[in-house]
Structures are given as C-alpha cells and as structure tokens.
Amino acid sequence: MKIRLADVIGGAAKSLDQRLQEDMRRTEERAENTAKERRLKKEAQKAKEKEFDEAMTTYVEGIQSTLGTNATYGDAVRVVKDYGGNLIGAERAYKAFTESADAGIDTSTLVKFSQGTDTATLPELIASMRPASTSMQPLGTGDVVGTGFLKKVDLSDRINQQVPVTAQTRRSFNIGEATVDRKGLLAGLEGQAKISSANAKKKNTTYTALHVQLTEQIMAEQEKTNPNTTLIQDLTNKRKEAHTQWLTFQLNEGGANNDQGAFDKDLVTSIPTIIKSYKDTAMSKFAVKGIDGKISTVISGNEGEAFDLEKSAYQEIISTGYEDSTKFGLLHQNARAAIASVDRQILTFKNKAEVNYNRLLNEDAALVQSGYTKFVDLTNQQGVTRNTLQQRGKAGEFSRNSVVKFRTTNQEGQVGTVKLLWTGYKFI
C-alpha cells in the first residue's frame, strides 16, 4: 500500500486548522470572560466607593456640627484622621462627639488643631481616605494573552477599550492634624467615673422600676374615658415623693434623713431616668406602632414641634416638677444641659436647611424660586420682626418646619441675621 504525500500534508493542514480554530475560540472566550469580570469588578468598586463616600460624609458632617458654628469640614476630617482615618474610626469619632454634644459637653474645647499646607474639597478629602483595596487599575501589557497558537497575542488593550478604567492614584493632602482629649468626651468621663467609684458600684434600681410603674399607671388612667382624677393625683404624689427621696439621697450621699426619719436608701436611680421620663411623655404624641407591634417615635415632618415639646418638658422639670433649686440643683443642671442639647439640634437643623437651599439655588435657581418652602430668605425685606413673622406664620404663609432667615438690628444698632424655625404654631 502506497502512502501519498499529498494526503499526509492535507491531513496535517486540516488538523492544524482545527487546532487554530479551537485556539481562536478559546482566546475569544477568554477575552469576553475577562471583560465581563472587569465590568462586574468596576461596578462593585463604584458601589463600594459610593457607600464609603456617603457614610464618611455623614460622619464628617455630624462631627462638624458638634464643633461649633465656626468649624469647617476640614476640622472634622482632622478629627476622623486622629481616630485612624478609616470608616471604623470615623464611626467611633461620630458616636463619641455627638453623644458628648448631646450631653452638654462643648467638644470644641477638647480638640487642638494644627494647620497644614494643602487645601481640598470635602469630596477630595473623602476620596483620599478610601481603602486602597477599592482601587482598580487598567490592564498592563501582557496581563491577558491568548491560548495555544495565539499565546503571544496580547488581549489587554482590547479589554481596556471594552471596559475603560482610569488609572487611579490615591492622593494625600496635608491639611494639618487634630489632637482630641478623649478623657473629656462623654465616654471618657463615664469611664473615669466608673474607675473613681470602684468602691461604690452597687446601685439599687428599685426606683427605676417604681418610677416606670407609677408613670404607666398614671398614663393608663389618663387615657380612660372617665379618668379617676383622685387616683391620678395620688399616683403623681407618690412618684414625686420617690423623686424627692432619691434626690435627697444623691445630694447627701445616702446619709440624709427626711422629716419622717430615715428614708428607703434602696430608692435610688439616676437623673437620666427622670430626664428620659419627661422626654418620653412629651414625645408620646409621635409614637407609632409598627406591623410587628413595636412602638417607635417618628418625628420626621414634625421636627419643629418635637424640638419645642422636648425643650418645654425639660423646662417643666425646673419650673414646676422640681422647682426647689436648693434640693434639686443637680437635676436642674442636667435639665439645662438637655435644653442646650436641643438648642444645638435646632441650630443644626436651621444651618442644614440653609446649606441645602444654597446648594439647590446654585443647581436650579428656577426650581427654588418657584415655591421652595423648606428655607425662606427674607433678608431683602424691610421691617421684618419676630412678631410680624409670627402673624404671617399664623396666617398660613409658612409651611411646617420652614426655616426663615431675616435681617434684624439689636439694641446697640448692630445689624445681623436671624434664622427661626416655624413649628406650625410658633417660631423657635
């Protein structure tokens, strides 16, 4: 049997062609799969960056609001960097500073700043703090090649064209530093208090249970169609006496006697319990029962009224609930701190309303001018006073939670601006 050379060559050529076709198919598949993976990675990176930026912005702005009206976002970023410069540290700083501010602590006195040589916008600073792991770079020469006969074919440039990725360099800015006196923050003070009172850790909570029990009984009776006013008064008197005994105990370190002799030293709680009780009562109208049966407080859309009611509740403690400043000086001090905390929240609400207004004004002035109600600028109007605004508010000119800014002159003849929040019935 004779073997023809043409048959051998033809068979080899066919085999090579099949292998080449298979390598081309596999190379094309590799290019497509790599492009798909890169596209998904790019989308995931974008989502992570957005999540990081939004969270970090919230933390920075929250910290800034606690540092006073003259504080900048740069100051807040310096604080975040003092806590590590990452998202976990920012959350810790945000919690520490907001809790401290709410407790009446002036956080601005607890931070020392040093100025740097660079300036940057808030988005630029936040971008500089993103984790390096989120960075994605373009493919380099030879990163992705073909298979088999096509193993020297570079696919990287083709994939880069299909999935464009901008080369990223993590910028750093020298904006200075912040040194935080953590011992002066609420958590630090509480920690010191625990250490200093190591020999007096045992506190009875009988009062807490009693206070809650009496308050619930009072509220339950008040909600009845025909409430027993005598019973309500009796329960109120018992709660007040319990408060009196506990506060006397606090002021005298447990060694005082009342008119009837030694009182029950187990009747002890903390001042925050009383403060919270008054707040909860004031906020009860905003209580909402969810589908799971749980009660939550929802004040969105009623911020102005909620601020006013909360302040009034704390003032009631001082004015009527426990008006004897000699006996209840410590309680008064805490109530005033609570009032100051609400005032800071009101100021933050007003300032944020103005910031949003100015941002929208720059983005779409026509939209703002067509009927934007959350912030009303009356600084160009003459003769605007708090009294005239009150009249205009009652006439229905302003929406609930509107912040109104106007120009005023004080007794010394100095001209300035004032921002007031319309609750729906009064300005605060």
Residue-wise pLDDT for 343-389, tens only, equals 999 999 999 999 888 888 888 888 777 778 899 999 999 889 999 99
Please state the rounded mean pLDDT for residues 213-236.
81
Give 268's pLDDT tier (boundaries 50, 70, 90).
very low
Q: Do 234 and 162 share a domain, yes or no?
A: no
| Same domain, residue pair 181 and 217 | no
Among 41-55, 104-118, 154-168, 205-219, whose mean pLDDT is lowest? 205-219
Range of the domain at 112: 22-194
Spatial separation of the C-alpha atoms in residues 160 and 396, rounded to whole Å:
60
Give the pLDDT band (50/70/90) at residue 144: confident
Whether 383 is in a domain gets the answer yes
Q: Is 307 a member of any domain?
A: no
Higher-confidence residue: 166 or 235? Answer: 235
pTM over 0.85: no
Query: Is the distance from CB of 273 to CB of 242 less than 8 angstroms?
Result: no
> Residues 424, 299: contact at Cβ < 8 Å?
no
User: What DSSP assignment string belongs to 170-224?
Assistant: ------EEEEE-GGGSHHHHHHHHHHHTGGG-----HHHHHHHHHHHHHHHHHTS
pLDDT at 63: 93
The predicted structure's pLDDT at residue 16? 67
**Mean pLDDT computed over 83-98:** 91
User: What CA–CA distance (Å, rounded) separates 80 from 84?
Assistant: 7
pLDDT at 127 over 60: yes
> In sequence order, which residues have a C-beta less than 8 Å from that of residue 151 and are 6 or more positions away?
145
CA distances (Å), 253 to each of 192, 223, 231, 256, 370, in order?
19, 38, 33, 8, 62
Asked whether residue 123 is assigned to any structural domain, the reply reads: yes
pLDDT in tens, 172-224: 899 999 999 988 888 877 776 665 554 333 333 556 567 667 777 887 787 77
Q: What pLDDT score was predicted for residue 391?
A: 93
> What is the per-residue burial (b if ≥16 Cβ within 10 Å, else e) of 39-78?
eeeeeebeeebeebbeebeebbbbbbbbbeeebebbbbbb
Do 44 and 190 lie in one domain? The reply is yes
Q: Which residue has the higher pLDDT, 286 or 75?
A: 75
Decide which of 269, 284, 319 is a domain's last residue: 269
> Same domain, yes or no, for 121 and 262?
no
Q: Is 409 contained in some domain?
A: yes
In angstroms, the CA 401 to CA 376 distance is 11
φ/ψ of residue 117, rounded to 5: -100, -10
pLDDT tens-digit profile of 394-410? 999 999 999 999 998 87
Q: Flag whether 97 is in a domain.
A: yes
163 & 81 share domain: yes
Same domain, 50 and 157: yes
Measured distance CA(143)–CA(137) in Å, rounded: 12
121 lies in the same domain as 264: no
Look at residue 339 and tell me if it is in a domain: no
Contact between 408 and 418 under an 8 Å Cβ cutoff? The reply is yes
Alpha helices in 252-374 (DSSP H): 271-283, 303-316, 329-363, 365-369
Q: Same structural domain for residues 150 and 245?
A: no
Per-residue pLDDT averaged across 100-120, rounded?
88
* Of the residues 251, 269, 287, the one at which a domain ends: 269
Residue closest to 64 by CA, chosen among 54, 52, 51, 77: 77
| 215 and 184 in a common domain | no
End residue of a domain, out of 238, 269, 300: 269
- pLDDT tens string 288-342: 655 555 656 667 788 999 999 999 999 998 898 778 777 677 778 888 889 999 9
In angstroms, the Cα distances linking 264 to 206, 211, 246, 267, 289 are 10, 15, 9, 6, 38
Angle between helices 329-363 and 271-283 (to 10 degrees): 50
Do 160 and 67 sit in the same domain of this protein? Answer: yes
If you average pLDDT over each of 58-62, 105-109, 127-131, which comes out highest?
A: 58-62
Q: What is the pLDDT of residue 82?
A: 93
- On whether residue 287 sits in a domain, the answer given is no
- Residue 260 has a pLDDT of 36
Please answer whether residues 369 and 269 qualify as being in contact, where contact means their C-beta atoms are separated by less than 8 angstroms: no
Do residues 85 and 188 both lie within one domain?
yes
Whole-number mean pLDDT of the chain? 79
pLDDT band per the 50, 70, 90 thresholds, residue 30: confident
Kindly tell me if the per-residue pLDDT of 164 is higher than 90: no
Which residue is listed with tokens 């060559």?
Answer: 9
304 inside domain: no
Q: Tell me the two tokens of residue 209.
A: 């249970």
Number of domains present in the structure of the chain: 3
In a shared domain, residues 122 and 228: no
